[in-house]
């Protein structure tokens, strides 16, 4: 099963598990400097200021074992096929672009909507970008949901997931989940796909 892993996906998986181990060993002290903190000197932000590197480092931190497992399972399932299509270097660019796009979206939303500052962490922004790429590249592949166990084509799965995230974000349900960051990762991935297609047509 693990033989099907591609090099970059394997490196991201290992990095996330190693960082989670460091979180556990340091009693989550890594969050102070490397989670994504909102902009501006509000409340506890004097203790946890925003730093530019957090636009990437937050994606290697997780808020619990189930949070980590869910993101890494999705990366394990969808990531290798995406990397085979893009190649290693372009996969890194795509994944990190989705991570940064998700972070910027979350910063904008957090500063605009949420009165209390809180840290954002997790690889979901990058993972949602991968889901979008997978759905656009392999639209008719069957994806089997875990719950409920219903098979559906990848394009429909990605579309429904995006609509769900938008509705949860707008209506404020499932508090504590950065729904707009997920959408930001998908939107960034879509923009990058369109850009690469445009470059391909020019050539």
Tens digit of pLDDT for each residue in 128-156? Answer: 999 999 999 999 888 876 666 788 888 88
- Rounded to whole angstroms, the Cα distance separating 176 from 1 reads 33
Residue that the structure tokens 């990437």 belong to: 56
Confidence (pLDDT) at 99:
96
User: How much of the chain, in percent, has pLDDT values that exceed 90?
Assistant: 45
Confidence (pLDDT) at 146:
65
Least confident of 104-113, 125-134, 181-190, 191-200: 104-113
CATH architecture of residue range(s) 2-202: Up-down Bundle (1.20)
For residue 88, the number of C-alpha atoms closer than 13 Å in the C-beta half-sphere is 8
Prediction pTM value? 0.87
Least confident of 34-38, 52-56, 156-160: 156-160
- Rounded to whole angstroms, the Cα distance separating 54 from 56 reads 5
Token pair of 119, please?
């840290």
3-state class of 122 per DSSP?
coil
Active site residues: 124, 182
Confidence (pLDDT) at 167:
61
Confidence (pLDDT) at 111:
67
Residue that the structure tokens 């559906």 belong to: 152
- Which is nearest to 103 in space by CA: 46, 50, 64, 65? 50
Least confident of 14-18, 35-39, 126-130: 35-39
Confidence (pLDDT) at 113:
65
Token pair of 37, please?
């903190």
Size of the chain in residues: 203
Which residues partner with 120 through β-bridges? 36
Residues 91-114: pLDDT tens digits? Answer: 999 999 999 999 999 888 866 666
pLDDT, mean over the chain: 84
- Could you list the beta-strand ranges (E) of the chain: 142-144, 151-153
- Which is nearest to 180 in space by CA: 193, 164, 192, 195? 164
Residues 51-94: pLDDT tens digits? Answer: 999 999 999 999 888 889 888 988 998 999 999 999 999 999 99
Confidence (pLDDT) at 47:
55
- Which is nearest to 55 in space by CA: 180, 153, 181? 181
- Rounded to whole angstroms, the Cα distance separating 109 from 106 reads 5
Supply φ then ψ for residue 174, to 5 degrees. Answer: 55, 60
Residue 30 has pLDDT above 50, yes or no: yes
CA dihedral 53, 54, 56, 61 (to 10 degrees): 130
Confidence (pLDDT) at 45:
46
Token pair of 128, please?
């949602």
Asked if 72 and 17 touch (Cβ cutoff 8 Å), the reply is: yes
């Amino acid at each position: 099963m693990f033989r099907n892993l591609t090099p970059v996906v394997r490196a991201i998986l290992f990095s996330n598990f190693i960082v989670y181990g460091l979180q556990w060993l340091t009693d989550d002290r890594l969050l102070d400097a490397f989670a994504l903190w909102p902009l501006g000197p509000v409340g506890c932000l004097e203790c946890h200021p925003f730093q530019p590197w957090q636009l990437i480092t937050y994606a290697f931190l997780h808020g619990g074992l189930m949070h980590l497992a869910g993101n890494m399972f999705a990366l394990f399932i969808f990531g290798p096929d995406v990397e085979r299509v893009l190649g290693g270097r372009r996969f890194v660019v795509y994944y990190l672009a989705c991570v940064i796009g998700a972070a910027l979206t979350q910063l904008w939303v957090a500063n605009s909507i949420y009165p209390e500052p809180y840290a954002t962490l997790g690889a979901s922004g990058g993972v949602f970008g991968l889901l979008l790429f997978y759905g656009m590249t392999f639209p008719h592949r069957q994806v089997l949901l875990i719950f409920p166990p219903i098979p559906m084509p990848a394009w429909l799965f990605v579309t429904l997931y995006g609509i769900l995230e938008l509705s949860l974000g707008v209506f404020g349900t499932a508090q504590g989940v950065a729904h707009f960051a997920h959408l930001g990762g998908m939107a960034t991935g879509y923009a990058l796909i369109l850009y690469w297609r445009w470059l391909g047509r020019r050539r």
